[in-house]
Chains A and B, each alone.
Chain A
Amino acid sequence: MEKIAIVPAYNEEKSLPAVLRALRADAPDFDVVVVNDGSTDGTSAAARAFAGVRVIDLPENIGIGGAVQTGFLYAREGGYGLAVQVDGDGQHVPSEIPKIAAPVLAGTADAVIGSRFIEKAKFRGSAFRRAGIWVFQALNAVLLGQRITDSTSGFRAFNRRAIDILSRTYPDDYPEPEAIYILRRRGLTIVEVPVDMAGRAAGRSSIGFGHSLYYMVKVCLAIFVLLLRRDDRAG
């Protein structure tokens, strides 16, 4: 089975080389595609310095969702059977990839979420962030009937069926919690596995503190509308 690591990157010239080096060392059997989301710094050059890394330079910044979806489009066209998403900011540790890839490779899940919260609470965000995470957990328990502890984690693995669906339908901003619902609505199996994540190596998170409230409202609205929609293929 062909495997690919999708690395979305927006102005990550400082942290990207370490991510790509770690991918080469810890996941050598993965092809790597960097989706440069219209960065204004040297992200593209930093990625192109690595032979064998395919770089997709988007001419404009279209947001994390659009960038990751470009990776799914690439993976779908390339016929990959397994895609993992690894953020370019260094938060996701490539040596943890086997953990999230295993259920897909074993055929026991269509999508796998790497969770920071299942085992230990090594990660501690702001109180507001933790409150938001709690809301998502409650929402997931009620609406999905499934315990998903880390909805906002972007460290994920997908099989071909999930890649195909997400390449057609993927939210533009704050896509992670909503993507779970998109897949579950199609009857796909999602599992969570515990992973370790690093603190950010450089740069700022795409979710600033001030945007947290907008994030919560937008995601809840999107999930609500998704459940109302009879056919969510469009959009």
Chain B
Amino acid sequence: MDNVQIIRIQILAVIGSVLLIFFILELIRRRRLREEFSILWLAMGVVFLVLSLFRGLLDKFSYFIGIGYPPAALFLILIMGLMLILIHFSTAISELKETQKKLVQEIGLLKAGGAHSPAAPALRAYGLPGGPKAG
């Protein structure tokens, strides 16, 4: 690989990383992405930007952790980053499911006019059958 080729891929990598960062920032600006979800993406963009600006860094890193072939270290970083983001998604979805379940339960109870309902004391006063009793 001659020098021209290396510089070409370096320029492409820098452009790619900068585009990713700007794309994420733009999504936040348009309120299509919440900040909490953007941080991991931005961190990945910054890591790639730094790695493409300072070429020696990837070699040093792969030597440091004992990988003989530097591009493999790049894949490792990429896969770890994506896994972090996906686990973050899983926890976020779990939270959403929990919230949704509670809302569905609450709506059901409110519609049924349980003890939650503003009408509950009146129902009890009229002794309507099936109405909840005072605790």
Does B104 lie at the interface of the complex (its beta carbon under 8 Å from any beta carbon of A)? yes
Does B70 lie at the interface of the complex (its beta carbon under 8 Å from any beta carbon of A)? no
Could you tell me the distance in whole angstroms from the C-beta of A82 to the nearest C-beta in chain B?
12
Give B118-135 interface residues, CB cut-off 8 Å to A: 129-135
Contact A59 B104, beta carbon cutoff 8 Å: yes
Does B98 lie at the interface of the complex (its beta carbon under 8 Å from any beta carbon of A)? yes
Chain A positions within 8 Å of B71 at CB level: none
A-B residue pair count with CB separations less than 8 angstroms: 77
CA–CA, A35 and B109, complex, Å = 9
Contact B101 A62, beta carbon cutoff 8 Å: yes
Given contacts A57-B112, A77-B114, A77-B116, contact A52 B130 (CB under 8 A): yes
How many residues of A sit at the interface, in one of the four size bands? 20 to 34
Give A48-68 interface residues, CB cut-off 8 Å to B: 51-60, 62, 66
Contact B109 A70, beta carbon cutoff 8 Å: yes
Given contacts A33-B130, A51-B129, contact A74 B104 (CB under 8 A): no
CA–CA, A33 and B105, complex, Å = 14
B108 interface neighbour in A2, A70, A77, A80, Cβ under 8 Å: A70
Contact A78 B132, beta carbon cutoff 8 Å: yes
Could you tell me the distance in whole angstroms from the C-beta of B108 to the nearest C-beta in chain A?
4
Q: Give a binary string over A23-63; 1 marks a CB under 8 Å from any B CB, 0 the rest.
A: 00000000111010010000000000001111111111010
Given contacts A53-B130, A74-B114, A172-B101, contact A79 B135 (CB under 8 A): yes
Could you tell me the distance in whole angstroms from the C-beta of B120 to the nearest C-beta in chain A?
8
A59 interface neighbour in B98, B108, B114, B135, Cβ under 8 Å: B108
Contact B129 A62, beta carbon cutoff 8 Å: no
CA–CA, A66 and B133, complex, Å = 23
Does B107 lie at the interface of the complex (its beta carbon under 8 Å from any beta carbon of A)? yes
Does A91 lie at the interface of the complex (its beta carbon under 8 Å from any beta carbon of B)? no
Does B46 lie at the interface of the complex (its beta carbon under 8 Å from any beta carbon of A)? no
Does B115 lie at the interface of the complex (its beta carbon under 8 Å from any beta carbon of A)? yes
Q: Give a binary string over A96-111; 1 marks a CB under 8 Å from any B CB, 0 the rest.
A: 0000000000000000
Number of interface residues of B (CB under 8 A): 21
Chain B positions within 8 Å of A52 at CB level: 129-130
A66 interface neighbour in B101, B114, B115, Cβ under 8 Å: B101
Given contacts A33-B130, A235-B98, contact A66 B105 (CB under 8 A): yes
Does A69 lie at the interface of the complex (its beta carbon under 8 Å from any beta carbon of B)? yes
Contact B135 A58, beta carbon cutoff 8 Å: no
Give B95-114 interface residues, CB cut-off 8 Å to A: 97-98, 100-101, 104-105, 107-109, 111-112, 114
Could you tell me the distance in whole angstroms from the C-beta of A172 to the nearest C-beta in chain B?
7
Chain A positions within 8 Å of B97 at CB level: 172
Chain B positions within 8 Å of A33 at CB level: 112, 130
Contact A73 B133, beta carbon cutoff 8 Å: no
Contact A58 B114, beta carbon cutoff 8 Å: no
Contact A74 B133, beta carbon cutoff 8 Å: no
Chain A positions within 8 Å of B98 at CB level: 235
Chain B positions within 8 Å of A31 at CB level: 130, 132
Chain B positions within 8 Å of A74 at CB level: 109, 112, 114-115, 132
CA–CA, A70 and B28, complex, Å = 37
Of all A-B residue pairs in the complex, the 6 with the closest CB atoms, nearest first, are A79-B135, A78-B132, A77-B115, A52-B129, A54-B130, A58-B108
11 intermolecular pairs with C-beta atoms under 8 Å apart: A53-B130, A54-B131, A56-B108, A69-B105, A73-B105, A74-B132, A78-B114, A79-B115, A79-B132, A79-B135, A235-B98
